[in-house]
């Protein structure tokens, strides 16, 4: 019996799902799939496993099976296990959620800046999931408060990244969406303001991503592929404003801090990204008026200027392709306007 473990992680490198892959030995006698898998996953209960099987989190040779399926030699068994975030209780909180779409299977939410997606150490309240829990309980008071965390999250975005995030409302939907994220078939386009005049209008960045060798809270690009995970980002310049550029980025893979790391790797750190050095003047001649202008821009957009603008996936129930678009938030629009005006004034002086 061979075994392989993969993990789907969010932008903070927190594991959301584990995908365990097993191959049934040639000499294995037919055994109920739930008993066979339970014997190979430490600490999993029979009831949790059966619930996962019913929700479609287990496949044999690419097909969903029932708990009474009997194993056969050579079967490829894949089980996705949800890893609970680091909290024990989810307190429902009333808040205004910008729900772009909702049905019985999924929710698509336009997340604002300065909002953590789920509770954790130091952030037990005020998170997106606190608001979603209140919303779902208001629709169906019979739901238990821990329903959503059990299967809702299939991806996350950073606290200060704005834009689109999809959540599953059923175990079946979670399984379906998680597989799409694993297989990199979800369409995700981001818009970012970056330092510098990007020379090429379009480009492809391919460099492995792993933790920074000196600062373990950061990540770095390793173009030779000696360590880390394979990562590809496609970018396109939308507009240039002398010392900064507005770009769109399409993720071919989904690695931790991928856009932030890849854009820095090619010399274009995201504007006001304090973790990667974008919160200081990186382009332009530093003199008093220019410094004051840049400081005003930092105040207008007091975060990393990154927005999840497009999200496309196959609906887990209807199998239809769904695509959602989110306009740039007010803070990014404000800082872009400032740079447009700066460019116009500079051009007029020439």
Catalytic annotation, pick one of 10, 34, 75, 158: 158
Mean pLDDT lowest among 133-147, 214-228, 251-265: 133-147
Between 64 and 44, the higher pLDDT residue: 64
pLDDT digits (tens, 9 = 90+) for 232-247: 999 999 999 999 999 9
User: For the whole model, what pTM was predicted?
Assistant: 0.80
User: In whole angstroms, what is the distance from residue 207 CA to residue 221 CA?
Assistant: 6
pLDDT digits (tens, 9 = 90+) for 61-108: 988 888 899 999 999 998 877 555 545 567 889 999 999 999 999 999
Same fold, 2-82 and 187-349: no
Give the residue-averaged pLDDT of 240-263: 93
CATH of domain 99-180: 3.30.2350.10
Nearest to 293 by CA among 348, 344, 341, 347: 341
Strand order in the sheet with 76-82: 2-9, 15-23, 76-82, 58-60, 63-64
Q: Hey, where are the domains in the chain?
A: 2-82, 99-180, 187-349
* Displacement of CA 298 from its chain's centroid (Å): 25
Dihedral of alpha carbons 302, 265, 162, 146, sign: negative
User: Mapped to the 3 state alphabet, what secondary structure does the chain carry?
Assistant: CEEEEEEEECCCCCEEEEEEEEECCCCCCCCEHHHHHHCCCCCCCHHHHHHHHHCCCEEECCEECCCCCECCCCCEEEEEEECCCCCCCCCCCCCCCCEEEECCCEEEEEECCCCCCCCECCECCCCHHHHHHHHHHHHCCCCCCCHHHHHCECCCCCCCCEEEEEEECCHHHHHHHHHHHHCCCCEEEEEEEEECCCCCCEEEEECEEEECCCCCCCEEEECCCCCCECCEEEEEEEEECCCEEEEEEEECCCCCCHHHHHHHHCCCCECCCHHHCCCCCCCCCCCHHHHHHHHHHHHHCCCCCEEEEEEEEECCCCCCEEEEECCCCHHHHHHHHHHHHHHHHHHHHC
Superfamily in which the 2-82 domain is placed by CATH: RNA-binding S4 domain (3.10.290.10)
Which pLDDT belongs to residue 180? Answer: 87
Give the residue-averaged pLDDT of 134-147: 78
Which pLDDT belongs to residue 13? Answer: 40
pLDDT digits (tens, 9 = 90+) for 198-240: 999 999 999 999 888 888 778 999 998 888 888 999 999 999 9
Please indicate whether residue 158 is annotated as part of the active site.
Answer: yes
Percentage of residues in the chain with pLDDT exceeding 70? Answer: 89
- On the question of pLDDT at 6 being above 60, the answer is no
Which pLDDT belongs to residue 26? Answer: 85
| Block residue for tokens 């000196």 | 214
Superfamily in which the 187-349 domain is placed by CATH: Pseudouridine synthase (3.30.2350.10)
pLDDT digits (tens, 9 = 90+) for 180-202: 887 888 999 999 999 999 999 99
User: In whole angstroms, what is the distance from residue 321 CA to residue 315 CA?
Assistant: 6
CB of 173 within 8 A of CB of 106? yes
């Amino acid at each position: 019996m061979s075994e392989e473990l993969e993990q789907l992680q969010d932008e903070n490198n927190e594991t959301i799902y584990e995908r365990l892959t097993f191959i049934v030995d040639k000499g294995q006698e037919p055994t109920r799939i739930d008993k066979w898998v339970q014997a190979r996953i430490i600490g999993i209960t029979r009831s949790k496993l059966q619930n996962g099987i019913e929700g479609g989190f287990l496949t044999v040779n690419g097909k969903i099976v029932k708990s009474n399926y009997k194993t056969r030699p050579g079967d490829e068994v894949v089980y996705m296990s949800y890893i609970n975030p680091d909290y024990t209780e989810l307190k429902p909180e009333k808040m205004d959620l910008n729900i772009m779409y909702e049905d019985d299977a999924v929710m698509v939410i336009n997340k604002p800046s300065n909002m953590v997606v789920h509770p954790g150490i130091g952030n037990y309240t005020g998170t997106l999931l606190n608001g979603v829990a209140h919303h779902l309980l208001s629709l169906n008071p019979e739901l238990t408060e821990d329903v959503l965390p059990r299967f809702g999250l299939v991806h996350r975005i950073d606290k200060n990244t704005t834009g689109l995030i999809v959540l599953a409302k059923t175990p079946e939907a979670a399984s379906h969406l998680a597989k799409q994220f694993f297989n990199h078939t979800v369409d995700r386009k981001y818009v970012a303001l970056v330092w510098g005049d990007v020379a090429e209008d379009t480009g492809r960045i391919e460099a492995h991503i792993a933790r920074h060798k000196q600062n373990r809270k950061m990540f770095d690009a390793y173009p030779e592929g000696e360590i880390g995970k394979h990562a590809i980002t496609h970018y396109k310049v939308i507009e240039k404003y002398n010392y900064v550029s507005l770009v769109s980025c399409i993720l071919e893979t989904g690695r931790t801090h991928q856009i932030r790391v890849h854009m820095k790797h090619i010399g274009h750190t995201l504007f006001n990204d304090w973790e990667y050095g974008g919160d200081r003047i990186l382009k332009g001649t530093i003199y008093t008026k220019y410094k004051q202008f840049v400081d005003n821009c930092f105040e207008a957009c007091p975060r990393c200027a990154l927005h999840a603008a497009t999200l496309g996936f196959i609906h887990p129930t209807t199998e239809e392709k769904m695509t959602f678009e989110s306009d740039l938030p007010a803070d990014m629009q404000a800082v872009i306007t400032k740079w447009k005006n700066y460019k116009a004034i500079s051009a007029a002086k020439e």
